[in-house]
Structure 1
Amino acid sequence: MTVEEFWNLPGDGKWRSLVRGEVVEEMPPGGLHGIVALRLGSRLERWSERGPGGSVGVESGFVLSRDPATVRGPDIFYVRPDHVPDAGVPEAFWNVAPDLAVEVVSPGEKAGDVREKVRDYLAAGTPLVWVVYPRTREVVAHTPDGLARTHEEEGVLEGFEALPGFRCAVSDLFR
């Protein structure tokens, strides 16, 4: 299936991704997932408004590859202002990789599926992927150099070069 065919699927309320040309159905997230995502997303939005600008959002499709066609919708994302198209935020899928992709792991999610998402974002050019684990109250930051840095509940989550000046106590996400 192509990106365009995927975009034109009927809206039946099902959660889907396009992974290497195949449609993958996903379970909607649970309650804790939504609360943690909102807490982190609101902190990113405040940082963006006070500093570099750009677009912070949730669950929007990003074309990570056209051959094979792959569209992923991170739970939270950030796109720098110079990566937002001149025409503005697209009504359809984004045709750029996000500068930050965040995946909040749900209880039933398989570790291999999470790793595959991280690899897809990094391969598309995303400089920073955060995987948030509500059960263990930690965030793992993945970067293209292959490093995975674990930020435990007592730690501070930083944006590194991708999000200059962003800092957030990890515990704030899980209070």
Structure 2
Amino acid sequence: MNTITIDLNSITPIDDEQFYQLCRANPELKFERNANGEILIMSPTGGETGNCNIEIAADFVFWNRQTKLGKLFDSSTCFKLPNGANRSPDLAWVKVERWEGLTATEKEKFPPLAPDFVLELKSPTDRLSTLQAKLEEYIENGVKLAWLIDRETDRVEVYRTGRDKQVFEKPATLSGEEILPGFVLSFEEIWK
């Protein structure tokens, strides 16, 4: 995805409420904000990536409906990370206890927390290095487990708190480990 970066800090920094209002006033655009306060305008994905995203999300939805362990979020959800960045992973999951600890306003706006799990699916126009930096940022801000799926190279990078990144070459499945107990993602449809 092509990203446009706008730095308004030299003119006027935008606070959390102003960023929220900017997003609400421009629903046709997808914004993120990095820890430096720069606004990132994200382009939409193509059909193949969008289809793969929804197929992956379906597996998570079915698992989560059975376990009722947390709340799932799609790529339209923006999270306010502890470092000040506002990020929208392709898929995110938050333990139900943490979600229930938020106020109604925090749930309605951009939840001020790092999800427990995030997934990013690289589209053909994404820069791998940009996504890798984003996943490292997630982990540094409290995400426990993060997956970066690259269908072009048939690789999955797994990021965990306090551990080195692991790279898997065309795995058949991937476990949600202790973060997503009992969840296993099959890559049969993803590698097609």
Q: TM-score, normalised by structure 1?
A: 0.89
Q: Does 1:31 align with 2:47?
A: yes
Distance 2:135 2:145 in 1: 9
The alignment partner of 1:126 has SS state of coil
C-alpha displacement at 1:154, in angstroms? 4.3
Deviates more, 1:26-35 or 1:131-140: 131-140
In the other structure, the counterpart of 1:149 is: 166
What's the C-alpha RMSD, in Å, of the aligned pairs? 1.9
Contact 1:127 1:143 in 2 (8 A): yes
Distance 2:134 2:180 in 1: 20
Instruction: Please list, as runs of the form range in 1=range in 2, the aligned pairs for 1:71-90 lying within 5 A after superposition.
Output: 71-86=86-101, 87=103, 90=107
- Amino acid of the structure 2 residue aligned with 1:105: K
Cα gap change, 1:80/1:103 in structure 2, threshold over 3 Å: closer, same or farther?
A: same
Out of 131, 141, 152, the position equivalent to 1:124 is 141
Out of 25, 29, 32, the position equivalent to 1:17 is 32
Out of 17, 24, 28, the position equivalent to 1:4 is 17
- Amino acid of the structure 2 residue aligned with 1:29: T
Aligned length: 173
C-alpha displacement at 1:19, in angstroms? 0.4
Contact 2:82 2:114 in 1 (8 A): no
The alignment partner of 2:69 has SS state of coil
Instruction: Please list, as runs of the form range in 1=range in 2, the aligned pairs for 1:110-121 lying within 5 A after superposition.
Output: 110-121=127-138
Distance 2:139 2:171 in 1: 27
Structure 1 gaps of 5+ residues are none
The alignment partner of 2:107 has SS state of coil
- Amino acid of the structure 2 residue aligned with 1:6: F
